[in-house]
Structure 1
Amino acid sequence: MDPEDFARLHSSASAESASRDLATLAALGWEPFFARQISVETLSDTPPARVVAVHRSGLQILGAGIDAIIPPRADATVGDWLLLDRDQTRASCLLFRKSLIKRRAPGTNRQAQLIAANIDTAFVVTSCNQDFNLARLERYVALALEAKIAPVIVLTKADLVTDLPSWIDAARTVSDRIPVVALDARGGEPPEVLSPWCKPGQTVAFLGSSGVGKSTLTNALAGTDAIATQGIREDDAKGRHTTTRRELHLIPGGCLVLDTPGMRELQLADAASGIAETFEDIQTLSAQCRFGNCQHESEPGCAIRDAIEHGRIDSARLLRWRKLMAEDAFNSASLAERRTKDRAFGKMVRRVMKDAKSRRRS
């Protein structure tokens, strides 16, 4: 959508002001994917605004001449784009997303929790210390790939180890298609090392456990110390929660950065394709097994067991793949059951309301 389209929204609007509005939206991540979903006529009444923070009291949104908090809604999350209905904000239209990070919500309510939308790159952050965990890295990478987001593994505290290549090699075993970078989050490296993914208008997210340097990296990109940070516990290198909400930070002249709280529990659901991409080596080998229903245990002609015996695949990686596949299958079934019950309940409510309305008429 060009400046002339914006200028046509109001007869009094100048091309210069329309261009400024478009530049504001572009800085917030507006792109043709979203522009194609709407018309110029729609924009005149409902201008686009992006959800930049989720508070308990509501959603903070930004747009061209828009900076407001609207009532919360369960179907929207940070990063979403809305067409703002100023008269009835709850009726604001949610635009289709190009990516969505979600997980099974903690607890036993069997619901999906929306984490963030319309992210271009997910920096999966871990430290070169006791926090480093291949199973966690694989989980986050699968989450990103399922969401159609490009993952990048970022190793922090690289300045504190003498055998950095071994940490990088270990991280690369997650997938040979995923870039791995190592840096000191507190120095001047982050803006330069992460620059290929932090272009203006791009939206990036830092994902990982508490204390690995997500907020420190955000501060480094912004060139400020505006976001509070905390150290780690000396005994186990585990971090303390600093970020308490998911919030987009607009880097002057650059990208938007999503800083997220460390997630103590990351349960995958509806993530089969993301897991398959993360474990592409195992998926490829499984297709070469003699039997289509091979369990990769003691069956003859098992290509995966042969790869393990010859050192081409680590047996621990196979176990982690099995665990994620089983977890995803269980959680996906649970969520499907919940959705079925919700639909049945909704139909019952509509039927009761229809019957009540009919009785009132008679």
Structure 2
Amino acid sequence: MCRASHRETAVTLRELGWSDRFAAAYQPWESKIDIQPGRVAIEFNQIFRIYVDGGEIDAVTAGRLKHRARGRVELPAVGDWVALRKRPEEDRGVIVEVLPRRSAFTRRAAGEPTGEQVVAANVDVVFVVMGLDRDYNHRRLERYLLMARESGASPAIILTKPDLSSDLSSQLNDVTTLAGDVIVHVVNPKAGEGLDHVRRHLAPGRTAALLGSSGVGKSTIINRLVGEDVRRTQEVRAADSRGRHTTSHRELVVLPDGGLIIDTPGMPRRAAMRRQGRRRRRNGFSRSARQLPQGAGRARGAGAPAGGAGAEDEALGGGGAGGSSRSACGIGFGPDGYLD
């Protein structure tokens, strides 16, 4: 399995987001000399790469933990803090416990009509990413924004591909009206424009996740933040403006300047619609927009029109809950030059 960190120096638990909250939850394991805390960095075919204090280790889930889990949501996921037992006879460990999560973003598990799985755990901010090209869709953005809010993390919006927009001013007005008090960043990751606004969310120990459809440029954003190409690409699909969705696993990336970001597989659009429909039926909502405050959103970054909307605020908005290697997966490379 590949290395997860993209920093040259070893990463401490505090830099990974360890806090007094997790230390208290870990207390029952503190006295056990063969167990140590760690954070799940990569999940790939039921094998996990775990960050531990000053290093990384591969691990599997203990059979007892699997047996008592009532569903996939109770099994380890990327971003989870875990109690890890090191096997002395080999260079791998066993996950014996998942510590209580501060936040979690979930979606329906593949092949399980009623089951859900955790896509990203213990996230501070969820970046909802949408392209301003012909793939832009107001209702999909609304659904993603609601999903981000329900995760327990602070939402923020990243709009990519401003250079491909047919009516940038109109789209920004549409998004900022929908966003309400959620900050909107306009970013051109291919050109490296607007990323400083994104970096302001990513202090050491702070975790972000990217949520969006395939081909919107999530991996391009990560490549720019890391400062190198950390994602493999596959064939270009030139039929439309979307890269091919080939991400097969999730990964927690440690950024060189501090902060962590979780790259997730592109969210299928129909899956998002089904999820939204289930929530409406369960909660009696007639419109998901009732959950979203309307008002003056704030757009800033590459391509944001001058005159008010592009001004930088001190606050990032939202309260929120509390060398290199290539990834083992491939990412679709769109004809517009953006990775998924």
TM-score for both structures, normalised by structure 1: 0.65
SS in 2 for 1:194: helix
Q: Which residue of 273, 279, 288 corresponds with 2:289? A: 279
Q: Is 1:85 equivalent to 2:85 in the alignment?
A: yes
The match for 1:175 is 179
Structure 1: 5+ residue runs without aligned partners?
1-19, 285-362
Is residue 79–residue 119 contact of structure 1 (8 Å, CA) maintained in 2?
Answer: yes
SS in 2 for 1:124: strand
Q: Is 1:165 equivalent to 2:165 in the alignment?
A: no
Q: Which residue of 125, 135, 155 corresponds with 2:129? A: 125
Separation in structure 1 between the aligned mates of residue 119 and residue 199 of structure 2, nearest angstrom = 24
Q: Is 1:52 equivalent to 2:41 in the alignment?
A: yes
The match for 1:299 is none
SS in 2 for 1:197: coil
The match for 2:76 is 76
Separation in structure 2 between the aligned mates of residue 59 and residue 49 of structure 1, nearest angstrom = 11
Separation in structure 2 between the aligned mates of residue 84 and residue 277 of structure 1, nearest angstrom = 44
Is residue 42–residue 250 contact of structure 2 (8 Å, CA) maintained in 1?
Answer: yes
Q: Which residue of 218, 222, 229 corresponds with 1:225? A: 229
Distance 1:229 1:59, change over 3 A: same
Task: Tell me the number of residue pairs that the alignment of Structure 1 and Structure 2 aligns.
Answer: 263
> Residues 179-194 of structure 1: matches in 2 within 5 Å?
179-194=183-198
Separation in structure 2 between the aligned mates of residue 44 and residue 62 of structure 1, nearest angstrom = 19
* Greater shift in the superposed pair: 53-62 or 104-113: 104-113
Shift of 1:86: 2.2
Distance 1:276 1:61, change over 3 A: farther
Q: Is 1:252 equivalent to 2:273 in the alignment?
A: no
Distance 1:208 1:231, change over 3 A: farther
Shift of 1:185: 1.1
The match for 2:207 is 203
The match for 1:25 is 13
The match for 2:142 is 138
Separation in structure 2 between the aligned mates of residue 276 and residue 231 of structure 1, nearest angstrom = 42
Distance 1:39 1:277, change over 3 A: farther
The match for 1:64 is 53
Structure number with higher helix proportion: 1
Is residue 215–residue 228 contact of structure 1 (8 Å, CA) maintained in 2?
Answer: no
User: Any idea what the Cα deviations from partners look like across 1:163-202, whole Å, max 9, x if unmatched?
Assistant: 3222211222333122111111112224312022111111
SS in 2 for 1:168: helix
Distance 1:135 1:232, change over 3 A: farther
TM-score for both structures, normalised by structure 2: 0.69
SS in 1 for 2:86: coil
The match for 2:118 is 114
Higher relative contact order, structure no. (Cα contacts within 8 Å, ≥ 6 residues apart): 2
Distance 1:37 1:49, change over 3 A: same
The match for 1:358 is none
* Greater shift in the superposed pair: 40-49 or 133-142: 40-49
Q: Which amino acid aligns with 2:171?
A: W
Distance 1:188 1:231, change over 3 A: farther
The match for 1:334 is none
Separation in structure 2 between the aligned mates of residue 210 and residue 254 of structure 1, nearest angstrom = 26
Is residue 159–residue 184 contact of structure 2 (8 Å, CA) maintained in 1?
Answer: yes
Is residue 26–residue 37 contact of structure 2 (8 Å, CA) maintained in 1?
Answer: no
User: Any idea what the Cα deviations from partners look like across 1:227-254, whole Å, max 9, x if unmatched?
Assistant: 1356875543222124321001111121
Q: Which amino acid aligns with 1:34?
A: F
Distance 1:237 1:98, change over 3 A: same
Separation in structure 1 between the aligned mates of residue 95 and residue 255 of structure 2, nearest angstrom = 30
Structure number with higher strand proportion: 2
Separation in structure 2 between the aligned mates of residue 283 and residue 180 of structure 1, nearest angstrom = 14
Q: Which residue of 73, 92, 104 corresponds with 1:100? A: 104
Separation in structure 2 between the aligned mates of residue 163 and residue 122 of structure 1, nearest angstrom = 26
The match for 1:304 is none
Is residue 185–residue 194 contact of structure 2 (8 Å, CA) maintained in 1?
Answer: no
Separation in structure 2 between the aligned mates of residue 277 and residue 109 of structure 1, nearest angstrom = 23
The match for 2:24 is 36
Shift of 1:40: 8.9
Shift of 1:276: 10
SS in 2 for 1:252: coil
Report the aligned-residue RMSD.
3.1
Separation in structure 2 between the aligned mates of residue 87 and residue 107 of structure 1, nearest angstrom = 33
* Greater shift in the superposed pair: 238-247 or 50-59: 238-247
The match for 2:337 is none
Distance 1:111 1:29, change over 3 A: same
> Residues 336-355 of structure 1: matches in 2 within 5 Å?
none
Separation in structure 1 between the aligned mates of residue 241 and residue 161 of structure 2, nearest angstrom = 11
